[in-house]
Structure 1
Amino acid sequence: MGQAFYVAGTGTDVGKTFFSCLFMAKYAESYGFRYWKPIQTGAVGTGDTELVQKTTDLPESYFLKPVYEFQTPASPHYASKQEGRILDPKFLLNELSKERKSNTLVEGAGGVFVPWTDDYLTIRGIGESNFPVVVIGSTELGTINHTLLTLDALTSRFVAVLGFYLVGPESSLQVDNAETIQRLGGAPCLGITNFPKQKLSPSEFISFTNNHFDTDRNVIDTLLNPEDEV
């Protein structure tokens, strides 16, 4: 039996895709995980699926195609209206349900309160999909507030939160940020990984990942032991 999980960010461009690249580079082949971004907006040129594949150099078999893909770089509710297309939450939830017992990393679009439609928020979809969540926050100033708000929004709706992971530039605040969020947020810190200081080839990125991501195996061991969910 597999364990699909949802990667939720504290905001847009906070580092969900970077985390996804790290996770897939380290664990896709050894544990059979696939990457899936069901809703992709701003898909002009390279979307996140293509970016993760290019970064990790994994075969196409490790990637699922988006259910909804929009060119407009905006919230799904706005992008779908701009392009005259209907985003149906019920259809999307049905597609998500098919992957619940598979080893699939599901990357969300933006933060947890981003609207899928005019009256349907991402956080409702997360709850109704019944996927456990890893929250991705920044290493930088402001992350305590943003991450605590996201954790509170999820846990108050009885969403299973596996923990949070901080990514971003190296910051003198990052250790205290992680400790403070863990102490006040009721969820474990699963780790911290800083952005590489230069652009890396796929082989270099895999080496970087092995040395800098999930070095204590907190992420993967939590996923493989779902009874430890918070």
Structure 2
Amino acid sequence: MGQAFYVAGTGTDVGKTFFSCLFMAKYAESNGFRYWKPIQTGAAGTGDTELVQKTTNLPDSFFLKPVYEFQTPASPHYASKQEGKILDPKFLLTALAKERKTNTLVEGAGGVFVPWTEDYLAIRGIGESNLPVVVIGSTELGTINHTLLTLDALTSRFVAVLGFYLVGPENSLQIDNAETIQKLGGAPCLGVTNFPKQKLTPAEFISFANHQFDPNRNVIDTLQNPDDEI
């Protein structure tokens, strides 16, 4: 029996997919984790599932297909409306429930207050899925506010937050950002990883992940012993 977990970002393009690439590159094969983005918008370009697979060079068996896939690069409620499709939260939650006790990284769409439908927010779905959450924030200026708001929104709704992880460009603020968020946010900092300074091949990225991501095993050990953290 495993443990699926939800990767929630403090906003759009904050680094959830980069974190997912790092995690899958380092732990997919050794710990049997799969990647799943249940709601994919902006699929007219390269979808996140395809991006993670190309980056990590993992075979198809490590990936689940999106439940909902929209071409429009927008919030799920808007994308589905534009394309004349119905996104049913109950159907999505049923799919999530089937994977809850498997080793699956579930990447969310946008921030936690992104609407899945016109009257159903992502944060409600996260809570009703009963999945523990890892919050992904940026290393850059503004992350203290954004990450604390996200942590507060989740914990005030009794969502199990395993911790937060910062990703992004290396800068002089990132250590203080991580320490301040941990001090004020009521959740442990699971780590900080900076973007590589150049484009990497899959083999180079795997090496990068093995050395630069989760060096103290905070993420994987927390996932394997969730009762110690929740």
Q: TM-score range by the shorter chain?
A: over 0.9
Number of the residue aligned with 2:127: 127
Number of the residue aligned with 1:64: 64
| TM-score, L = length of structure 2 | 0.99
Is 1:136 aligned to residue 136 of structure 2? yes
| Superposition deviation, residue 202 in structure 1 | 0.3
- Provide, for residues 79-109 of structure 1, a one-character-per-residue CA deviation record: whole Å limited to 9, x for no partner: 0000000000000000000000000000000
The code of the aligned residue for 1:104 comes to: T
- Provide, for residues 95-152 of structure 1, a one-character-per-residue CA deviation record: whole Å limited to 9, x for no partner: 0000000000000000000000000000000000000000000000000000000000
Is 1:188 aligned to residue 188 of structure 2? yes
Number of the residue aligned with 1:108: 108
Q: Partners of 2:229 and 2:80 in 1: how far apart?
A: 34
| Superposition deviation, residue 229 in structure 1 | 2.6
Number of the residue aligned with 1:28: 28
| TM-score, L = length of structure 1 | 0.99
Q: Partners of 1:7 and 1:228 in 2: how far apart?
A: 19
| Superposition deviation, residue 226 in structure 1 | 1.1
Spell out structure 1 runs of 4+ moving beyond 2 A: none
Structure 1's unaligned 5+ residue stretches are none
Q: Partners of 1:77 and 1:46 in 2: how far apart?
A: 20
Number of the residue aligned with 1:147: 147
Q: Partners of 2:86 and 2:229 in 1: how far apart?
A: 34
The code of the aligned residue for 1:102 comes to: T
Is 1:225 aligned to residue 219 of structure 2? no
Give the secondary structure class of the aligned counterpart of 2:105: strand
Q: What root-mean-square deviation, in Å, do the aligned CA atoms of Structure 1 and Structure 2 show?
A: 0.4
Number of the residue aligned with 1:91: 91
Alignment of 1:150-189 (within 5 A): 150-189=150-189
| Superposition deviation, residue 51 in structure 1 | 0.1
Is 1:200 aligned to residue 200 of structure 2? yes
Q: Partners of 1:80 and 1:229 in 2: how far apart?
A: 36
Give the secondary structure class of the aligned counterpart of 1:214: coil
- Provide, for residues 50-88 of structure 1, a one-character-per-residue CA deviation record: whole Å limited to 9, x for no partner: 000000000000000000000000000000000000000
Number of the residue aligned with 1:19: 19
Q: Partners of 1:111 and 1:45 in 2: how far apart?
A: 20
Q: Partners of 1:207 and 1:15 in 2: how far apart?
A: 19
For this pair of structures, how many residues does the alignment match? 230
Q: Partners of 2:159 and 2:168 in 1: how far apart?
A: 25
Give the secondary structure class of the aligned counterpart of 2:99: coil
Q: Partners of 1:175 and 1:101 in 2: how far apart?
A: 34
| Superposition deviation, residue 181 in structure 1 | 0.1
Give the secondary structure class of the aligned counterpart of 1:98: helix
Give the secondary structure class of the aligned counterpart of 1:184: helix
Q: Partners of 1:176 and 1:103 in 2: how far apart?
A: 32
Q: Partners of 2:13 and 2:54 in 1: how far apart?
A: 18
Q: Partners of 2:229 and 2:82 in 1: how far apart?
A: 39
| Superposition deviation, residue 44 in structure 1 | 1.2
Q: Partners of 2:190 and 2:2 in 1: how far apart?
A: 20
Number of the residue aligned with 2:2: 2
